[in-house]
Structure 1
Amino acid sequence: MRYGFGELDFYIGDIWELATQALISPVTEDLHPVVGIGSNLVRRAGPEIAKELADHDPIGLGHAFVTKAGTLRAKWLIHTSICTLASPPSGPDVCEALDEALSVCQHMAIKSVAVPAMAIEPGELPVRVAANVIVRSCFRSFKMSRLPERIVLVVPSPYVEREFKYVIEDILDKEYQ
């Protein structure tokens, strides 16, 4: 779907299968991959990416750190800090982190990026809350910048895709009332 300067698409499956220019990888502020998505991305990218993350200083909550994507099909991994080791992600932290990651895309002239449905693991955020934060961040990016031109929301199941689409419809209904 088109919105502002960009296009928002969905992909049900694993983020590492995509060939967008960049993939967003959720991490802690100490650059430890977040369970599930983040750890699988780093593992599949290869040991040199894991070493680069381990050797780097902490980045702080809401910040981003870019590495090459190693053996993945994408060119870049944008590691964005959504939580600390001691606390689960919150809506505001995910929002700040994703805004920062999408800003990195603009500055690096990245045209396409895959964004995972992050912070939806048990004990983290309810799916609809995470969807609201992620979709609003994507829409803000499309309103403010021409890059990235395309964001692919990567969801693990049709249920999560429906929740994200519900949030999109709700936001658009309120915006155009």
Structure 2
Amino acid sequence: MELDEIKAKIELRQGDITEIEADAIVNSANTDLILGAGVSGAIGRKGGRIIQDECNAIGSAPLGDAVVTSAGALKAKCVIHAVSMEIGHFTSEENVARATRSALRRAEERNLRTIAFPAIGTGAAALAPEYSARAMLDTVVRHLAGGTGLDRIYFVLFNEEVLAAFREVFDGLTLERRPPRRGREQER
């Protein structure tokens, strides 16, 4: 698949991810699967207690993995919880890339056609938006280049600063693989 075909499947928009109509909404999750603040909190509030109850039943998930729950009252069919951080810790591009890859895998396993991502790691995990954008968009491009059942991948970004960072990375995308950065050098 050519880069232009891949980019045509990706849509960047500013807004509230809980309002989007997609088969799956991705939650930027911690290893304890606690829906706290930011995107997680909004998903829990708008989707209802059932989502946290299902997370509690799962218990926990390893860093870089993704687990699936129902979407409760949200418009999506399910919520994919992409585990990019441990509570009280920062994250890295590498963790965000692994969590993004796992979320895409879960969507494929369920034969979903559309998935909506937030800017994973930019809230409590304190990753700068440009690092999140690079890790996520590079991972999505590689996934789409390998063939996929996904028709559309949305990035629903909560403010203009984050949207601008994602647009800048999106405009510079190539099919060349860039290794993600590791560690704390990405703290804000």
The TM-score, its normalising length taken from structure 2, stands at 0.85
For the 8 Å contact 1:27–1:34, the answer to whether it is kept is: no
Match runs of 1:80-119 below 5 Å: 80-119=82-121
Match of 2:166 in 1: 164
Match runs of 1:41-60 below 5 Å: 41-60=43-62
> Take 2:85 and 2:26, find their aligned partners in 1: how far apart are those partners?
15
* Alpha-carbon shift at residue 130 of structure 1 (Å): 0.9
Within the candidate set 134, 137, 140, 1:135 is matched to 137
* Alpha-carbon shift at residue 51 of structure 1 (Å): 1.1
> Take 1:64 and 1:173, find their aligned partners in 2: how far apart are those partners?
25
Q: CA RMSD in A?
A: 2.1
* Alpha-carbon shift at residue 146 of structure 1 (Å): 1.8
Percent identical residues? 23
For the 8 Å contact 1:119–1:130, the answer to whether it is kept is: yes
Match of 2:68 in 1: 66
Query: Is there any run of 5+ residues in structure 1 with no aligned partner, and where?
Result: none
For structure 1, which segment, 120-129 or 155-164, has the greater mean C-alpha deviation from structure 2 after superposition? Answer: 120-129
> Take 2:17 and 2:52, find their aligned partners in 1: how far apart are those partners?
17
Query: Is there any run of 5+ residues in structure 2 with no aligned partner, and where?
Result: 178-188
Match of 1:39 in 2: 41
The 1:136/1:173 distance shift into structure 2, 3 A limit, reads closer
Query: What is the total number of aligned residue pairs between the two structures?
Result: 175
> Take 2:52 and 2:166, find their aligned partners in 1: how far apart are those partners?
30
